[in-house]
Amino acid sequence: MTVMTLIQAVNDALKHEMRRDDRVVVFGEDVGVKGGVFLATEGLQAEFGKDRCFDTPLSECGIIGTAVGMALYGLRPIPEIQFLDFIYPAFDQIVSEAAKMRYRSGGEYTCPMVIRSPYGGGIKGGHYHSQSAEAYFCHTPGLKVVIPSTPADAKGLLIASIRDEDPVMFLEPKRIYRTLKQEVPEGEHVVPIGKGRIVREGKDATVIAYGAMVGICEQAAELAAKEGRSVEIVDPRTLVPLDEPLILDSVRKTGRCVVVYEAPRTCGYGAELAAIVAEKAIEYLEGPIVRVAGFDTPFPYTLDNLYMPDARRVLRGIQKTFQW
């Protein structure tokens, strides 16, 4: 075990897999000499050479388009999109090509690749360095969507994603890149895709959260505990495919459900979570399913701390599920 930040865990996972499998290649804007703007790819070019870790022209469209070609040929590309806000020029390649290749070719051609990208608010990045776009990808059949909330999960899930045979969107909550330090297993460490985790056990209400929101919910759970309410926190870890049983079991146990996400509220991934619970566990509910989310506005710069759900807002969400 070594104590690592989340970004160090990402770097560790990349190195581990590049050593293990020479088909793994990493590329993107500034990932070479600079090692990425967050240093996720630091040291990779030095260790693995320019054929396996290289800078690209400023074209997300080309980054993903060529990644698809490499994957078809048999490589395991790990393209980095510098900020998730800049993934849209590549949207067509992701949605129309990577996601649909296996299906449309009857299973003959596949696109195993991991698209890594930092996402979410919390670094004073304003309008275009803060967005949470996970719902777009969750709504796209053929993609898997993975979001770690701890350094150990970041390493284990990234390794699992790299070994996965399908295209994976690996979204890294940049807000907690360095704020969280944790023991992370050295060497081999795999956290399977499709399995969530109980972050904190509780019996009165279930809060579902992922990424940087998990920590916020832990703060809120502490506040709720002071009010005498025992809150269970569930982190799905992979949004697609989802560990439905874990979530439904928790909600059936507690009878209350709060869904927390920082993306704009309307049609965010939390809407999906709410809809699943409302279809499959409504008879256990003793209160409304409450969503605490980002607002339906673009991401602001100065007021970003008000935009992102904080412990106050989550606490109030928890309280609401009791006011029936």
Determine if 188 is a binding residue for a second copy (CB under 8 A). Answer: no
Residue of 75, 111, 289, 314 that binds a second copy (CB under 8 A): 289
The interface mask with ligand TPP, positions 20-39, x = CB under 6 A, is ---------x----------
Taking the CB of residue 98, how many other CB atoms lie within 10 A of it?
Answer: 28
CB 260 within 8 A of CB 219: no
Between 89 and 118, how does the x/- string for binding to a second copy read (CB under 8 A)?
x-xx--xx--xx--xx--------------
C-alpha–C-alpha distance, residues 89 and 6, integer Å: 27
Q: Cβ distance 183 to 13 under 8 Å?
A: no
Give yes or no for a contact between 161 and 115, defined as CB atoms under 8 angstroms apart.
no
Q: How buried is residue 112: exposed, middle or buried, by Cβ count under 10 Å (0-12/13-18/19+)?
A: buried
Residues 89-148 that bind another protein (CB under 8 A): 89, 92-93, 96-97, 101-110, 122-129, 141-142, 144
37 binds another protein (CB under 8 A): yes
Burial 242-253 (b: 16+ CB within 10 A, else e): bbbebbbebbee
Report whether 64 contacts 94 (CB < 8 A). yes
Among the listed residues 16, 127, 129, 189, the single catalytic one is 129
DSSP character for 93?
A: I
Residue in 10, 224, 290, 315 binding a second copy, rule: CB under 8 A? 290
Taking the least distance from each CB to ligand TPP, the nearer of 61 and 248 is 61
- E-only strand ranges, the chain: 2-5, 24-28, 53-55, 76-80, 114-119, 144-146, 168-173, 181-184, 197-200, 205-208, 231-235, 238-240, 257-264, 289-294
CA distance 265 to 8: 31
Within 78-97, the residues that bind another protein by CB under 8 A are: 82-83, 85-86, 88-89, 92-93, 96-97
Separation CA 131–CA 221 (nearest Å) = 25
Which residue number, 47 or 201, has a Cβ lying nearer to another protein?
47
Q: Which is nearer to another protein, 15 or 52 (CB)?
A: 52
Residue 108 φ/ψ, nearest 5 degrees = -80, -40
Q: Which is nearer to ligand TPP, 82 or 206 (CB)?
A: 82
Binding to ligand TPP by CB under 6 A, coded x per residue (else -) over 55-94, reads ---x-x---------------------x---x--x-----
Q: Looking at residues 197 to 236 of the shown chain, list those that interact with another protein (rule: CB under 8 A).
A: none
Helix (H, G, I), strand (E, B) or coil at 258: strand
Which one of residues 1, 275, 303, 306 is an interface residue with a second copy (CB under 8 A)?
275
Q: Does 297 bind a second copy (CB under 8 A)?
A: yes
Distance between CA atoms of residues 209 and 273, nearest Å: 10
Least separation in angstroms between CB 121 and ligand TPP: 17
Q: Note whether 182 and 176 are within 8 A (CB).
A: no
Q: Does 303 bind a second copy (CB under 8 A)?
A: no
Closest to a second copy by CB, 15 vs 280, is 280
144 touches, from ligand TPP, another protein, a second copy, none (C-beta below 5 to 8 Å by class): another protein
Q: Assess whether 129 carries a catalytic annotation.
A: yes
The contact set with a second copy (CB under 8 A) reads 85, 88-89, 91-92, 95-96, 99-100, 103-104, 127-128, 135-136, 138-142, 240, 259, 263-264, 266-272, 274-275, 277-280, 282-283, 285, 287-291, 295-298, 324
Catalytic positions are: 129
